[in-house]
Chain A
Amino acid sequence: MLEIKNLHARIADEREILKGVDLAVAPGEVHAIMGPNGSGKSTLAGVLAGRAGYEVTQGSVTYLGRDLLALSPDERAREGIFLAFQYPVEIPGVNNMYFLRAALNAVRRARGEPELDAGQFLKSVRAKLKLLEISDDLLQRGVNVGFSGGEKKRNEIFQMAMLEPKLALLDETDSGLDIDALRTVANGINRLRAPERAMVVITHYQRLLDYVEPDRVHVLSDGRIAKSGDKTLAAELEKSGYAVFDAA
């Protein structure tokens, strides 16, 4: 589904941050990318989602057989890629429901599906909220405006549930969460695991992986995948820390 080959990227004209990332993700798989601060985790998420300010200098990213890097951020989303933000953006004046319906209908149009009217949309919203066990108090507010850290992350997972992506990138979704919020978010992620859906979970800590069991774990260090393994690699890292990779 996703194939990253020898990916090099830098910020504007500055130093290179990704120095040859290789990664292949198949449908239904959950991959965890772990690594210390500054290893390039957020850059990787940004490049995959199409954030401005990054320059890919070498390598390729293929998604469902297409050159992902040639697509705009909104085209990527309409093709089924979803990025859960590390820092979800507050957008005053844009109602969360209105925003979500616009997004869902944009994605549905791209899939050749009919748009949902207000009633159908509301029904779908209710079903997803129930599935994720989250309350509806976020819906009528401005997008992420005045949300707590936990509410913002829950809103990201809720959006993911509504948009039903083929490939979800979760950028440090566990950061800044207390244990209850972490459980809710992890629970949501688990319920959205599906045979046709791949997930890439980017995280600094192992604790999210106590709840979301990955198929593969990769260690990103100094812009490269330094080690890959199964879920036991995460536990190993918890014990030994990232220092061993810095030394390598």
Chain B
Amino acid sequence: MTVVKAETAPYFEAFRARPHDAEEPRWLAARREAALLRFGELGFPTRRQEAWRFTNLRPLQGTNFAPATGIAAVAPAVVEALRLSDATHRLVFVNGRFAPELSLLSVVPAGAWLATARRTLDERPELLEAAVDDSDTAGAQPFASLNAAFFADGFVLALEPGVVLDRPVQIVHVGRAATPAQAAHVRNLVLLREGSRATVIENFTGEGAYWSNSVTALSLGERAALRRIKVQDDGRDAIHFAVDRVTLGDDTRYESFVLTLGARLARHDTLALIAGERAHCAVHGAYLLRGEQEATNATAIDHAASHGTTREVWMGVVDDRAHGVFLGRIAVRPAGQKTDAEQLNRNVLLSPRATVDTKPELEILADDVKCSHGATVGDLDENALFYLRTRGISEADARRMLIDAFTAEAIATVEDVGLRDYLAAHVQRWLSQDGDARREGVS
């Protein structure tokens, strides 16, 4: 008999209290129940669990987040500010619900399916089955299981073999606080069949205290290629959790970049399974934190097939009393011969009270592999600061230049110049706002 942890009880109540959806397929209803039960068994993670030992979950546990019910009014300017110059498709979700009036849906090529999860459920329910699976009902990600139980919507991009989307797809998630506090559980799916290609940009933005909890399943068939950019700039009182489950087939290319700027408590987990040979898995990112923010970026790359490559560059900039965490796990199974993996995590602390925890973890069960990792935590280069200042550049500007240059090293991993500029512009905006300490005139 399963034992349900006491702290999960409010979520069981909310599950029973939610409106009944007669249209929902039975398989999904069953999986939702099983996933909720799994969440109940797992409970909230504690610091005794290795994967969560650096995370302070108090902001989440102190509040019961009811599943978000309705859409809030959002000015079009909020979405326009995030505009990507050449994005042709844009889906906007407000508190996890599709907002058609803010979205731009143009015609997609034959063989491409781009729609909300809700519409997919109505018209192509078989697609969505891939997005809710055993990892929700039997896995070890409690918040992903909770998401499976409650998600109301999300986006689905599915490409038939050989279909190439030239222009990026942009997904914008807007959070708005409500009373009582609400959680937006969003479930997404990117399914690329053989030889198909796409670029997906996801933005998170918002105001007030809310919980954004998203799960994305990404599956790349033979020779498929996916470029994925995520800019997490949720409100400073928000909580942001996200799990990416990536499966890579033969000769696939997955290139992702996660920029973390927002939320008081944030965590992004990338779980990648290299199931096919010669797959390329690039998982890069940067996090810029200040105030009391805490953000964890956790990657777990599982090389289960030969000749795979992993590339990871993560740069962290941590100011004030903020806390950055990087957990980088790379496993190479016996079948993962000729794996070539490189992982780098570099951090600068801008304040004496800022902290970083970084933990590389390699588990190698094959004998012919190349795996390297490096992690550093340091201050801005004092010599470089002095040099810039002797040329008349103010200390504040000199610091910004060095932070910008530091972050640019991670952004340089993004091949597309337009996407690089887009990310750099977000970093610039962060830099234009001072840290709490400097704003208050204490350094």
Q: Please list the residues of chain A having a beta carbon within 8 angstroms of any beta carbon in chain B.
A: 49-52, 72-74, 76-78, 82-83, 85, 88-94, 99-100, 102-104, 106-107, 110, 142-143, 159, 163
**What separation, in Å, do the CA atoms of A175 and B408 have in the docked complex?**
33
Residues of A within 8 A of B383 (CB): 89
A-B contact pairs, 7 of them (CB 8 A): A74-B391, A74-B394, A85-B387, A91-B405, A93-B408, A106-B394, A163-B391
B 353-384 contacts with A by CB, 8 A: 381-384
CA distance A143 to B402 in the complex (A): 11
In the assembled complex, the Cα of A184 lies from the Cα of B207 at a distance in Å of 58
By the criterion CB–CB under 8 Å, are B384 and A91 in contact?
yes
Q: Does B129 contact A (CB under 8 A)?
A: no
Residues of B near A142 (CB, < 8 A) are 405
| A74 contact from B392, B404, B405, Cβ within 8 A | B392
Task: Tell me whether B387 and A88 are in contact (CB under 8 A).
Answer: yes
Pair B391/A77 contact, Cβ less than 8 Å: yes
CB distance from B167 to the nearest CB of A (A): 30
Given known A-B contacts A52-B386, A73-B386, A94-B401, A102 and B393 have beta carbons under 8 A apart: yes
State whether A74 and B390 are in contact (beta carbons under 8 Å apart), knowing that A93-B406, A93-B409 are contacts in the complex: yes
A77/B387 in contact, CB under 8 A: no
A73-B409 contact given A89-B384, A106-B394, CB 8 Å threshold: no
Residue pair A102, B397 in contact (C-beta under 8 Å) = yes
- On chain B, the residues within 8 Å of A77 by CB distance are 389-393
Inter-chain CA distance A94–B401, complex, in Å, is: 7
A100 and B411 alpha carbons, distance in the complex (Å): 23
Q: Is B122 an interface residue (CB 8 A)?
A: no
Residues 216-254 of B, flagged 1 when their CB comes within 8 A of A and 0 if not, give 000000000000000000000000000000000000000
Q: Interface on B for A, CB 8 Å cutoff? A: 381-384, 386-395, 397-398, 401-402, 404-406, 408-409
Residues in B whose Cβ lies below 8 Å from that of A91:
381, 384, 387-388, 402, 405
- Nearest B-chain residue to A102, judged by Cβ: B393
**Contact yes or no, B395 A106, CB < 8 A:** no
Bound Cα distance from A99 to B398, whole angstroms? 10
B384–A73 CB distance below 8 A: no
Tell me if B408 and A49 are in contact (CB < 8 A): no
* Residue in contact with B388 in the complex, picked from A52, A78, A99, A163, CB distance below 8 Å: A99
- A85: chain B residues at CB < 8 Å are 387, 390
Q: Which residues of chain B come closer than 8 Å to A110, judged between CB atoms?
A: 392
Q: Which residues of A contact B401 (CB under 8 A)?
A: 94, 99, 102
Residues of B within 8 A of A159 (CB): 391
Q: Which of B387, B388, B390, B409 has the most CB of A within 10 A?
A: B390
Rounded to whole angstroms, the CA-CA distance of A83 and B386 in the bound complex is: 11
Which of chain B's residues have a CB closer than 8 A to the CB of A106? 391-394, 397
Query: Which B residue sits closest to A46, measured CB to CB?
Result: B386
The complex places the Cα of A72 from the Cα of B405 at a distance, in Å, of: 24
Chain A residues closer than 8 Å to B395, beta-carbon distance:
72, 74
> How far does the alpha carbon of A76 sit from the alpha carbon of B391 in the complex, in Å?
9
State the CA gap A195–B383 with chains docked (Å): 32
Q: Give bound CA distance, A83 to B395, whole Å.
A: 17
Nearest A-chain residue to B387, judged by Cβ: A89
Are A78 and B384 also in contact (CB < 8 A) when A93-B409, A99-B401 are?
Answer: no
Contact of B389 among A73, A100, A143 (CB under 8 A): A73
Q: In the assembled complex, which residues on chain A have CB atoms less than 8 Å from the CB atom of B398? A: 74
Q: Tell me the complex Cα distance, A76–B387, Å.
A: 13
Q: Which residue of B lies closest to A142 (CB)?
A: B405
Q: Of A73, A102, A104, A143, which is within 8 A of B390 by CB?
A: A73
Complex contacts, B406 vs chain A, CB 8 Å: 93
Task: Chain B residues near A100: list those with CB within 8 A.
Answer: 391
Q: Which of B388, B402, B404 is most buried by chain A, counting CB atoms within 10 A of its CB? A: B388
Q: Which residues of chain A are within 8 angstroms of B391 by Cβ–Cβ distance?
A: 74, 77, 82, 99-100, 103, 106-107, 159, 163
Chain A residues closer than 8 Å to B393, beta-carbon distance: 74, 77, 99, 102-103, 106
- Nearest B residue to A107 via CB reads B392
> B441 to nearest A CB, angstroms?
16
Using CB atoms, name the residue of chain A closest to B396: A74
Within the complex, the shortest CB–CB distance from B420 to chain A, in Å, comes to 13
Chain A residue nearest in CB terms to B401: A94
Tell me the minimal C-beta distance from A138 to chain B in angstroms: 15
Docked complex Cα distance between A94 and B382 (Å): 15
Q: Is the CB of A83 within 8 A of B405?
A: no
CA A100 – CA B401 in complex, angstroms? Answer: 12
